[in-house]
Structure 1
Amino acid sequence: MNAGLRDMVPADWAAVERIYAAGIAGGNATFADAPPTMEEFFVSRIPGLSLVATDDGGAVQGWAAATPTSSREVYRGVIEHSVYVDPAAAGQGLGLLLLHGLAGRARDLGYWTIQSSIFPENLPSLALHAKAGFRRIGRRERIAHMGYGPHAGTWRDTILMEQRL
């Protein structure tokens, strides 16, 4: 597969939502129990930092997007990202392509740090982020209570990963 990388557009939403939902169903991608609406998604993401990876036919196989970490001016260069790959396309390098593309764009836009909180059970994501140049900053213990899926009713830890641009 020859993957391409481009800006996410509203016409991609059905695929983005499907891939997001697949991540949610696995129980180790997010605390969210359902994808947001398209409007909520696009309004909360930083313009220019929502990307999709496509196959050679143009079908969306994965996505990455970033949100501000804080509204405080001192943190204007720090963003938090999400990256999701269609389970059927896992292991083909799309996650790395998305993270490298996101980092390059973020650097060009003046951001200096990208971070993400990852469940410690999500070993593929931790390995992907390490391969992409992220470093493990620490573990946040019992940071939030899981409300759905295989971990419903449990307190979850997250690993904070960071890349300085």
Structure 2
Amino acid sequence: MAIRVTALLPEHADQVLAIYRAGIDEGNATFETEPPPWQAFDAARLPEHRFAALGEDGTVLGWIAVSRVSDRNAYAGVVEHSVYVAPTARGRGVARALLDVVIASTEAAGIWTIQSGIFPENAASLALHQRAGFRIIGTRERVGRHHGAWRDVVLLERRSLAII
């Protein structure tokens, strides 16, 4: 399957939010229970570090985006990312292609740490991130409630070797 990674644009909004919805519905991707309206999604993510993976026909196969972790100057080089792949496109290298592009774009911008919180039940995502150079920092136990149950989150980070 040919994958083309491009900037995530407003014209991708419906497909991006549908992929986000699929991740929400599966129950092991996020604490969110509804995808946000596009305007909120757009405002919460850094425009220079969000990408869509497109299939040959232009269909969005997956997306990745980063957000600031803090407005404090000391954390200017630290971002949190999310990566989602359409259920029909999983296992084909889409998430890895997206991770590689966001790693390159953040390093070029002087960002030294990318972090992510992943439910421990999401073994595929944990393995993918470790293959991409992320390391497990630890588990935040019972950090939030999700559908009435306490959930743990594994905190991962990737430190840039080019900057540090």
Q: 5+ unaligned residues in a row in structure 2: which ranges?
A: none
2:140 match = 140
Summarize the alignment of residues 74-113 of structure 1 with structure 2, pairs less than 5 Å apart: 74-113=74-113
Summarize the alignment of residues 149-160 of structure 1 with structure 2, pairs less than 5 Å apart: 152-160=147-155
SS at match of 1:32: coil
What is the TM-score with the length of structure 2 in the denominator? Answer: 0.96
1:58, distance to aligned residue in structure 2 (A)? 1.4
CA deviation map 1:3-39 (0-9, x unaligned): 0100000000010000000000011000000111100
CA deviation map 1:57-81 (0-9, x unaligned): 2111000000001111100000000
1:71 match = 71
1:125 aligns with 2:120: no
Counterpart amino acid of residue 100 in structure 1: D
The total of aligned residue pairs comes to: 160
Cα distance between partner residues in 1 of 2:154 and 2:137: 8
1:162 match = 157
1:153, distance to aligned residue in structure 2 (A)? 1.0
SS at match of 1:157: strand
Counterpart amino acid of residue 103 in structure 2: A
CA deviation map 1:82-127 (0-9, x unaligned): 0000000000000000001001000111100000000000011101
Q: 5+ unaligned residues in a row in structure 1: which ranges?
A: 147-151
1:149 match = none
Counterpart amino acid of residue 139 in structure 1: T
Summarize the alignment of residues 22-41 of structure 1 with structure 2, pairs less than 5 Å apart: 22-41=22-41
Cα distance between partner residues in 2 of 1:31 and 1:83: 14
1:46 aligns with 2:46: yes
Cα distance between partner residues in 2 of 1:127 and 1:58: 28
SS at match of 1:161: strand
What is the TM-score with the length of structure 1 in the denominator? Answer: 0.96
Counterpart amino acid of residue 161 in structure 1: L
Cα distance between partner residues in 2 of 1:131 and 1:94: 14
Counterpart amino acid of residue 134 in structure 2: F
Q: What RMSD in Å do the two structures reach over aligned CA positions? A: 0.6
